[in-house]
Amino acid sequence: MKIAVLHGPNLNRLGRREPHIYGTATLKDLERLIRAEAKRLGVRVVFFQSNHEGALIDRIHALADAGIGGFIVNFGAYSHTSIALHDALKSVAPLPAVEVHLSDIKKREPFRRRSMTARACVTMISGQGFAGYAAALQLLAKPLSSTR
């Protein structure tokens, strides 16, 4: 099984962007953690980050057509505004997606408290930092391990 991890706008700035909210670890650090967890679970992962909504949509479609098993998505600010990304995930159903947010969006600014894209996902994990990605990977890998 292969899982895609898609990162939206400004996640390439992890480690430098608002470290009081997101910490000082980088996107590369996060990818290392996810790769280690994937290896432990026996799944493969691919990564993609873009600051452009259309590029994320194109990648969702391409990965689905290439046989990806599921998605972990953190669309950043697009989570709160993008019906197009919501529709892109719906267009590749029944592929599962888990939305992850490093910070707890329910405790952030009012405009961040609702996610448009989470409605197209099986669940949302918010406020667990990097550990939220490991939890998402475990959740998506569960169907695979339950058939072993």
73, β-bridge pairs: 6, 99
pLDDT at 139: 97
pLDDT at 143: 63
Task: Check if 22 is active-site.
Answer: yes
Contact status, residue 47 vs residue 31, Cβ threshold 8 Å: yes
**CATH superfamily, with its number, for domain 2-146:** Dehydroquinase, class II (3.40.50.9100)
Which is more confidently placed, 20 or 130?
Answer: 130
Single out the catalytic residue among 7, 86, 101, 133.
Answer: 101
Q: Which DSSP category does 107 fall into? A: G
Given a cut of 70, whether residue 144 has pLDDT beyond it is no
pTM: 0.92
Phi, psi of 113 (to 5 degrees): -80, -15
- Give DSSP secondary structure letters for 31-58: HHHHHHHHHHHT-EEEEEE-S-HHHHHH
Q: What percent of the chain has pLDDT over 70?
A: 96
Section 5-31 average pLDDT? 93
Confidence of residue 146 (pLDDT cuts 50, 70, 90): very low
Confidence of residue 22 (pLDDT cuts 50, 70, 90): confident
Single out the catalytic residue among 22, 80, 86, 133.
Answer: 22
Given a cut of 80, whether residue 62 has pLDDT beyond it is yes
pLDDT tens, residue by residue, 90-135: 999 999 999 999 989 888 777 777 899 999 999 999 999 999 999 9
Q: List the Cα angle 138/56/109 in 5-degree steps.
A: 75
Amino acid (one-letter) located at 68? I
Task: Check if 78 is active-site.
Answer: no
